[in-house]
Amino acid sequence: MDPSRRAVLGLGAGLMTAAGLAACGSSGQKDGDGPVTLTVWAREGDNSMEDQMGAFEAAHPGITVQLSSVSNDQYLTKFANAIRSGSVPDLINFDIINAPLLATQGQLTDITEQSKGLANLEDLAPAGIEVGTLEDAIFSLPVALTGSQMFWNKALFEAAGLDPEVPPTTLAEVKEFAEKIQATGEGISGFSTIGGAGGAFTGFPSGWADGGEIVSDPGPDQVSSFSDPAMVAMVAWYQDMWQSGLMQPTDEPNQDPGNVGQQNVLEGNVGIIFTGANTFSGKEDQFGSVAGIPGTSGELASFLGGNQAAIPLGAPHPEEAWTLLEWLVSDQEAAELNRTAGWIAPDLALAESLASDDWAAATVGSLAVGRLPISIAYFAIINDPNGPWAQNSQAVIFEGADPATTMARAQEQADQLIADAYRQIG
């Protein structure tokens, strides 16, 4: 069996087995009127949560938070084990892409009524609400977000005779500008993408900007759209950038330059970059930015990344857990701590009010055009390095495979994985 198929089926089986044991867990009742200790799981790498929990405790003297960091690749397995043992945490903060799978498995508390009572519900990032909603019921809310954007090195623009305040507006212009930048000197790369060449975070937005789709609406009839002409054109563009020598070299074939690429960007050796704003912490004055990534038409789109939070079924203190969740999505101090840590607060109106310059405004603006694929098979079809999107798009970009036929094959593989995932959950 394909490794990506085993991944999604194994996860589904683990959570389904755990679901049968959930009734054996805690009752979800609060401990009288005395002090309460909330157990909270944070996704590893969410550097805002520790400071936020301290601020929350200060504002809520009767509640203490016990925060645990869980690695992303172990998160779902650990949660399934917690359900089996009847010892779920009070609040889980997890990768936003996993929201559909967790909601479908029936292990999250329905928070529709509480969410609709939020004064700022209409201001929360729309894609974050959408991904946390299943059949009109809300099961999770966005708490710390980021978006993909285009950035450029102003000094390299000047060296290439380009206006440092005027970025390229289409993928064709990105290539044109990259050629001029790369001609300025040895060791200079015209373009880099930090987030996987042709991958979800920095690749999909170019296809979305041109009206493309990756998957249809979630549900048992969901299918992928990997052969959508806009998505095929996006992968073909990356192939051209690689074959033209304009994309920053990778350490190994078929791999994104990753941390080495980021270091080269920060050292001023790359002209145009598709990535997230976190990359440029402390270097913002050296780069320009726009609120998204362009396609071929001049439109912008962005991949909505970040963290979602939910209250598991059987949580020992669901009322206090909601108090925390409401604070995370609504409180100004929580929003300021997100900003300090490089995240964007889920309340876009609040985030905009905290934006102190054009850079910050563009970062927040990326969420207004932010999207993400909603599928219970997301990991298997897109994120898994052995899965259909990664394997086939990389074959096109780095090995010269034909874009149309290769992505059509990837679509067939993805459709089978989606069907398997829905069969597994019944």
In CATH, the architecture of 147-303+375-425 is 3-Layer(aba) Sandwich (3.40)
| Helix axes 3-21 and 403-425, enclosed angle (nearest 10) | 20
Q: Is 256 helix (H, G, I), strand (E, B) or coil?
A: coil
Q: Which residues contact 225 (CB under 8 A, 6 or more apart)?
A: 212, 213, 214, 215, 216, 231, 411
Give the residue-averaged pLDDT of 252-258.
55
- Strand partners of residue 344: 145
Residue 30 has pLDDT above 50, yes or no: no
Pairing mode of beta strands 300-310, 91-95: antiparallel
Residue 257 has pLDDT above 60, yes or no: no
* Spatial separation of the C-alpha atoms in residues 157 and 25, rounded to whole Å: 60
Residue 84 has pLDDT above 80, yes or no: yes
55-73 confidence digits (pLDDT tens):
999 999 999 999 999 988 8
- Output the pLDDT for position 416: 97
SS (H, E, C) 167-186: CCCCHHHHHHHHHHHHCCCC
* Spatial separation of the C-alpha atoms in residues 165 and 332, rounded to whole Å: 32
- Output the pLDDT for position 425: 79
- Answer yes or no: CATH 3.40.190.10 is held by domain 17-146+305-371: yes
Question: Which residue would you say has higher pLDDT here, 67 or 260?
Answer: 67
Question: Which residue would you say has higher pLDDT here, 157 or 103?
Answer: 157
Instruction: Phi first, then psi: give them for residue 289, nearest 5 degrees.
Output: -150, 155
* Spatial separation of the C-alpha atoms in residues 203 and 305, rounded to whole Å: 13
Q: Are 381 and 417 in contact (CB under 8 A)?
A: yes
Q: Is 310 helix (H, G, I), strand (E, B) or coil?
A: strand
- Output the pLDDT for position 9: 42
- Output the pLDDT for position 172: 98
Residue with tokens 């993928």: 171
Q: Which residues contact 154 (CB under 8 A, 6 or more apart)?
A: 164, 165, 286, 287, 288
- Output the pLDDT for position 248: 83
What is the pTM (predicted TM-score) of this model? 0.86
Amino acid making up residue 146: T
Residue 28 has pLDDT above 50, yes or no: no
Q: Are 142 and 306 in contact (CB under 8 A)?
A: yes
- Output the pLDDT for position 346: 94
Amino acid making up residue 9: L
| In the chain, ranges of CATH 3.40.190.10 domains | 17-146+305-371, 147-303+375-425
Q: What percent of the chain has pLDDT over 70?
A: 89
Q: Are 67 and 40 in contact (CB under 8 A)?
A: yes
- Output the pLDDT for position 106: 87
Q: What is the DSSP string of 82-133?
A: HHHHT---SEEEEEGGGHHHHHHTT-B---HHHHHT-TTGGGB-HHHHHHTE
Q: Which residues contact 22 (CB under 8 A, 6 or more apart)?
A: 83, 86, 107, 313, 314
Question: Which residue would you say has higher pLDDT here, 354 or 196?
Answer: 354
Residue 26 has pLDDT above 90, yes or no: no
Count the neighbouring beta carbons within 10 Å of the beta carbon of residue 3.
Answer: 11
Length of the chain, in residues: 426
Q: Are 198 and 204 in contact (CB under 8 A)?
A: no
Nearest to 293 by CA among 357, 366, 211, 196: 366
202-237 confidence digits (pLDDT tens):
999 999 999 999 999 999 999 999 999 999 999 999
